[in-house]
Amino acid sequence: MIKEMEAVFCDKFGTNENIQKFFSPGRVNLIGEHIDYNGGNVFPCALSIGTYGIFRKRQDDKVLCYSMNFEDLDIIEFSLKDFKYDKKDNWVNYVKAVIWSFGQKFGKIEQGFEFLCYGNIPNGSGLSSSASLELLISKILIDEYNIKIDMIEASILSQIAENKFIGVNCGIMDQFAIAMGKKDYAIFLNTDTLDYKYIPAKLDNYKIIISNTNKERKLNESKYNERRTECEKALSFIQKYKQVKNIADLTIDEFEAIKHRIEDEICLKRATHVVYENERTKKAVELLKQNDLEQFGKILNESHKSLKELYEVTGVELDTLVEISQQQKGVIGSRMTGAGFGGCTISIVKEDCIDQFIQVVGTKYKEKIGYEPSFYTVQIGNGTMKL
């Protein structure tokens, strides 16, 4: 892929001398959904698919960006002297966002660059193509502009970029998992303290299959921010009676004792999901350590039920995909992953059943929904890096 990218870079920018090459993965969350902004524990891993970038410094203040995924947009240009969010600049707003975020902390970057990228993460899939791009730009700024920070701080600055510049009120999980990914390990992350542990993700003769609903989805136009507001409201009810920083700080027993204080029925449902999902995540980590894949799979199924009934972020496409998947031979668990409202599911499928799984699930989904899903057999890979 890189050779092809080099050729396109040469075509678009005149030469490919003095170029630098980078890779940033996508991520999938094994379990712990919609609790990263509620101070809970999440369990993501970086993937072997992601975003590749080629970079070269310029002698002026212009930034020229080209994506092989959006060829019809051609080169999009902006100046480091003065730039702002502009809807017509599409994906390049994420490049601007990270430059802006780093500029707030370290002062303006003044020397421009040429940048070409290609991603093999499906857009809008919920596998964090946006966070992958954010960390790719972060790594470029760190390495090529001699900015002295580690990748944890880079993940925080990337999150700020998405919150403040793009306007999506995301938690830290996506950026952290992409920045800190480690091959064959998932990350058990406390999103409040950023304490983390690498947990071996040995799936024996099972594989992770990502199934994409192929439903079009735009995160900052979805109900994502609405769910976050509902959780903040639930927390405000709880805080009148108990000193607690986040909903996920409550144990199940503590929550059951105080939940009647949440006067809004919708907010109660959201908080119930958060507390129980946080406990499921802790349990899932222990089960994976013990290599108890059967029970691990059951917890994934429980997670989806909660996201469907209590958090209400699934929808007919995701529910159809999960229900069909859970019924297939060789599947120990399946759930939606990511923000929801479309996007992807994650299924743990026995290796010798994968072909049959893809064929049957694809056919039955199309019969009900009217169009086909896409499937990806993925490996757990490393975090963002210079190639």
Task: Collect all residues with Cβ–Cβ distance below 8 Å to 286 and sequence separation of at least 6.
Answer: none
**CA 369 to centroid of chain Cα atoms:** 25
311 vs 208: CA distance, rounded Å? 24
Nearest to 94 by CA among 1, 15, 165: 165
What DSSP letter does each residue of 243-289 carry, written as one string?
--SSGGGS-HHHHHHHGGG---HHHHHHHHHHHHHHHHHHHHHHHHH
Catalytic-residue membership of 174: yes
The conformation of residue 201, written as its DSSP 8-state character, comes to: -
Task: Collect all residues with Cβ–Cβ distance below 8 Å to 55 and sequence separation of at least 6.
Answer: 19, 20, 21, 22, 113, 114, 115, 140, 144
Query: Which residue intervals of 14-75 are DSSP H helices?
Result: none
Q: Which helix (H) or strand (E) holds 63?
A: strand 62-67
36 vs 162: CA distance, rounded Å? 15
* Annotated catalytic residue, options 36, 89, 174, 249: 174
Nearest to 163 by CA among 119, 131, 190: 131
Count Cα atoms within 13 angstroms, Cβ side, for 234. Answer: 27
Q: Which helix (H) or strand (E) holds 183?
A: none
42 vs 132: CA distance, rounded Å? 18
Nearest to 347 by CA among 224, 210, 231, 246: 210
Active site residues: 174
